[in-house]
């Protein structure tokens, strides 16, 4: 078991940083506390397994709006076992309340930005859906045209078959007449066919 004493500087007060630290520690079994200092810095004292403390240091050394850690001074020590759990040491109730209000305003602003981004993405999606519907409409028109061409072609083939049948019937009748005439002429000439 090890102990770390960490002094964090930057934009770390009135931005929800202590809650961020608590979130990073949640479920790890790390004990200790976090508190704001009058200097504008935040102090963290934490005890636990060395690998978990290393992970904690990485998790709190961040630049993620509204938090901006500019320095993180870590001192390693042997654990004393003096902390039963991890706590946030709060200051004056009025200061804490204003900090919460400031943080809530920040969260509301971020939520609004995310909502705007989501709305913009929805508009883009709707535009793309409109484009797809237009393309589907064009495809349906082309399919209708192809069906019409297919019907016209079928009708032309049907008419061609009827015309051909009629023509061939006329030709065969004419050939039959001529054969009958030839047969009659041969019979009159005394030739049996």
Q: Give the pLDDT of residue 66.
A: 85
- Domain limit, last residue, from 45, 74, 90: 90
pLDDT of residue 100: 76
Last residue of a domain, one of 90, 113, 143: 90
**pLDDT band per the 50, 70, 90 thresholds, residue 3:** very high
Which residue do the tokens 């076992």 mark? 81
Between 66 and 88, whose confidence is greater? 88
Same domain, 120 and 172: yes
Residues 113 and 41 in one domain: no
Question: What is the pLDDT at residue 23?
Answer: 94
Task: Supply the DSSP string of 119-183, one letter for each residue.
Answer: HHHHHHHHHHHHHHHHHHHHHHHHHHHHHHHHHHHHHHHHHHHHHHHHHHHHHHHHHHHHHHHHH
pLDDT of res. 92:
81
Residue 29 pLDDT: 97
Q: Do residues 75 and 104 both lie within one domain?
A: no
Asked if residue 66 and residue 25 are part of one domain, the reply reads yes
- The answer to whether residues 177 and 157 belong to one domain is yes
Number of domains in the chain: 2
Q: What is the mean pLDDT of the chain?
A: 92
Quick one: pLDDT at residue 178? 92
Domain range for 15 is 2-90
Q: Which residues are identified as catalytic? A: 18, 36
Query: How many Cβ atoms from other residues are within 10 Å of residue 16's Cβ?
Result: 20
192 in the same domain as 168:
yes
> pLDDT of 81-103, one tens digit each?
999 999 999 888 887 787 778 77
Q: Which residue has the higher pLDDT, 28 or 108?
A: 28
The DSSP element (H or E) to which 73 belongs, if any, is strand 67-78
Same domain for 47 and 138: no
Q: What is the pLDDT of residues 122-174, one digit of tens each?
A: 999 999 999 999 999 999 999 999 999 999 999 999 999 999 998 999 999 99
* Residues 86 and 108 grouped into a single domain: no
The tens digit of pLDDT for each residue in 7-48 reads: 999 999 988 899 999 999 999 999 999 999 999 999 999 999
Residues 108 and 182 in one domain: yes
- pLDDT score at 107: 82
């Amino acid at each position: 078991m090890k102990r770390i004493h960490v002094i964090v500087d930057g934009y770390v007060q009135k931005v929800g940083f202590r809650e961020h630290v608590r979130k990073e520690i949640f479920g790890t079994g790390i004990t200790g506390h976090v508190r704001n200092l009058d200097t504008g810095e935040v102090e963290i004292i934490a005890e636990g397994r060395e690998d978990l403390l290393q992970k904690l240091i990485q998790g709190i050394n961040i630049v993620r709006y509204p938090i901006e850690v500019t320095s993180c001074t870590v001192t390693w020590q042997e654990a004393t076992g003096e902390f039963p759990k991890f706590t946030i040491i709060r200051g004056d109730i009025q200061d804490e309340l204003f900090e919460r209000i400031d943080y809530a305003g920040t969260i509301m602003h971020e939520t609004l930005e995310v909502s705007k981004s989501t709305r913009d993405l929805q508009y883009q999606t709707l535009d793309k859906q409109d484009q797809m519907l237009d393309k589907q409409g064009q495809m349906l028109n082309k399919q209708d045209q192809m069906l019409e061409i297919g019907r016209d072609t079928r009708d032309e083939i049907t008419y061609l078959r009827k015309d051909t049948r009629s023509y061939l019937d006329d030709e065969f009748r004419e050939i039959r007449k001529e054969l009958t005439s030839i047969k009659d002429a041969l019979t009159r000439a005394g030739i049996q066919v």
